[in-house]
Amino acid sequence: TLRHTEQEAYERERIRIAHDLHDGPLQSVISFEMRLQIIRRLRERDPEMADKELASLYDLSRRLVQEMRTFVHRMRPIETDDSSLGASMRRLVEGFQKESGVAVTMLAEQNGSLKVAPKLSAESLKIAREALHNIYKHSRATHVLFAVEKKGDELHLSVDDNGSGYSFGGRFTMEELDALQLGPRSIKQRVRSLGGAMTLESNPGHGSNLRVVLPIDA
């Protein structure tokens, strides 16, 4: 039923948020607490080292604040444009560039013909936002090539970056990533829920390439 489907989507979103909190801000808070304990022990026997640790802790606190701001931003609803998914994607990309400082070249249909159902529009925007966030958080990229287009009865999304890539190398399907327990977990969950397909190509030290294909009737 529709209610059951909505409940499943809600539960998936709760799980994703919990994972994001655990892997992001929570880890920084734990690290912050551990560093405080070190400084407390060093304060009397090595004041100079304690000062160095304190300076390092200040840097960590700034990163934690940025992580929290980013997390809150990602929790906000994504603005959608009923006339064109391309316009919504462009706003998303422009916001990402402004906040991250990472340059993005975007390829999308300009004539407003990139129209899909509201659910697919919202979910594809979330996938795109997650992909861009992962690049900003993990890859140290300076440039991203972002493309979205309709091909027949499919929506194609691709994100290429010139960052550090993943820790593993090669080209993998979503099923292969699942078997190896690799790849962006929340993106895989969204793609799977929409009946889509995904490939991820990683070249450690030289960037990564994400390809997502979603059925238009998803």
Average pLDDT over residues 142-158: 95
The reply to whether CATH 1.20.5 applies to domain 2-74 is: yes
Q: How far apart are CA 67 and CA 59, in angstroms?
A: 12
Which residue intervals of the chain bear CATH 1.20.5?
2-74
The reply to whether CATH 3.40.630.30 applies to domain 82-215 is: no
Average pLDDT over residues 30-58: 84
Strand partners for 28: none
178 against 1, higher pLDDT: 178
**Model pLDDT, residue 72:** 66
Q: How far apart are CA 171 and CA 177, in angstroms?
A: 10
Which residue intervals of the chain bear CATH 3.30.565.10?
82-215
pLDDT tens by residue, 117-148: 888 998 999 999 999 989 988 888 999 999 99
